[in-house]
Amino acid sequence: MLVAVAAAVAVVDTAAAQEIAGTWVSQEVDAEILGREPQHVRVLSIREAHGGLIGRLIVPTLVGIPVAVEQHGDHVRLVIQMARGMETPLDGTLTADRLSLASPGSTSPPAILRRPSAEELQVLERLAPKKLSIPTMKALPPNGLARTPPMGFSTWNHFQTAIDDRTIRDVADALVKTGMRDAGYVYVNIDDGWQGARDAHGTLHPNEKFPDMKGLADYLHEHGLKLGIYTSPGPQSCAGFEGSYGHEAEDARTFAQWGVDYLKYDWCSAGLIYDDAEMPPVYLKMAEAIRAAGRPMVFSICQYGRADVWKWGADAGGNLWRTTGDIADQWQVMSTIGFAQDELAPFAGPGHWNDPDMLEVGNGRMTTAEYRTHMSLWALLAAPLIAGHDVRSSAPDAVALLTNRDVIAIDQDPLGRPGRRVVQRGPLEVWTRPLAGKRTAVALFNRGAEPAKIEASFVELGIDGRAGALDVWAERSLDVLEGRIAADVEPHGVVLLVLEPVQRR
């Protein structure tokens, strides 16, 4: 499946735009390959718009990627904008009908694009799905769900598409056995890879690995859990399975009949059809279909934080929306994503949450200190807590991190106000989150590679007077604090406190 996305770009002169405008394909591609294996084709389409250039990138990953384009004579720069905060530049040289592209400073051979033939252009046109009608954008009223951030489990981080009915039932049993269900992890979300084919009536069926989706939902419900499922507004999902393109109402009814409680709607191949500016009504279309189907479902918008989704996600029916690209079980990725969320805090609250992606706790590639930071930061952000490890073989320390009741209480605080950064001194950061009962969560983060003492005054924290303090991870009360806080914090670590005002005698 070919995937493309439009992106607004820099202003260039008309003569330069005429040189690069048009369609470019991978050098080694021919019409036969286009018709037989379109998933292996890269296509770049560039045109003039609004005094600048608009680029449309078609790539074999099935994920639409906006690309900014600048041209200065024979020199070209593309900036791949996979997701908010994730940009990759490519420098290029334009020579007649060839476009050579490489990462700055790379020693690898450049990628070569060429102009396609008329026959190849006809094949590309046939492969492109047609744009469907989308509703006029309007603000949907809240659906009353997710008054606190959703908690649960998702298959993607650990299993990806290696999933089946037995695995989901075993995960459900493990959520119960480990105490994670009782701690609040109730959604069991089946990500990409469950989809089969549509029948003659357009009804989507699971593949052979999921012989009875209704029976699976019943099993989860009987164990005090809820079923989540995944699809895309495009023809195909990110992993190449059937999407909901043209079948939104049918799929919503099918999910309702199965007993689905949560739907993740992932942009993926929708980028071949719609521009980023059309995301709001595309998501609204499925939200309306869910409501017409008559079964309440948490609606999770997944489009990687593009198009300022936090400004329209709630209006489009979203209960949560991804604010970033995909997380990974790596300190650099997790910390970059988490600490970039500060400015988005005003857009979240009961029923509508910023989603910096799933938890990596338990997957084993970060240290305990780093996982503790991961949990603390997600709790301060009022982020959904969706576990992404193999719950069936959870290590005790991972379960302890995930089920710490005071950390969960911060995340699930009914006030629903996400935390903000109040102090930043190099790699040392202090964040606060207002909690119900006039309490305040305070996190002292050391993003550096050396131990450090972190201090903050009550003025910086926005706290008056004296305060009792609970050290959350140490699970102990501290002496009454007045005027300031200070703590020694390990590398990549955190000290997480809950402060409560103390009346003067």
**Active-site residue list:** 266, 326
**Whole-angstrom distance, CA of residue 7 vs CA of residue 306:** 11
**Whole-angstrom distance, CA of residue 13 vs CA of residue 17:** 6
In DSSP terms, 375 is beta-bridged to none
Pairing state of beta strands 262-266 and 298-302? parallel
**Whole-angstrom distance, CA of residue 85 vs CA of residue 304:** 10
Nearest to 495 by CA among 380, 397, 373: 373
Burial 377-411 (b: 16+ CB within 10 A, else e): bbbbbbbbbbbbbbbeebeeebbebbbbeebbbbb
Cβ contact 4:64 at 8 Å: yes
**Residue 282, burial from CB neighbour count under 10 angstroms (0-12, 13-18, 19+):** buried
Q: Give residue for tokens 């003025």.
A: 459
Cβ contact 382:420 at 8 Å: no
3-state secondary structure at position 191: coil
Cβ contact 48:13 at 8 Å: no
**Residue 58, burial from CB neighbour count under 10 angstroms (0-12, 13-18, 19+):** buried
3-state secondary structure at position 371: helix
Helices (H) and strands (E) in the chain, counts: 15, 27
Q: Give residue for tokens 């969560």.
A: 441
Query: To 5 degrees, how large is the angle CA 247–CA 45–CA 323?
Result: 55
* The length of the chain, given as a count of residues: 505
Q: Give residue for tokens 């908010």.
A: 84
**Amino acid identity at 182:** D
Helix 213-222 with 165-177: angle, nearest 10 deg? 10
Tokens read off for 85: 């905060």
Ranges of beta strands (E only) in 292-375 are 298-302, 320-322, 353-355
Nearest to 86 by CA among 277, 305, 347: 305
**Whole-angstrom distance, CA of residue 320 vs CA of residue 317:** 9
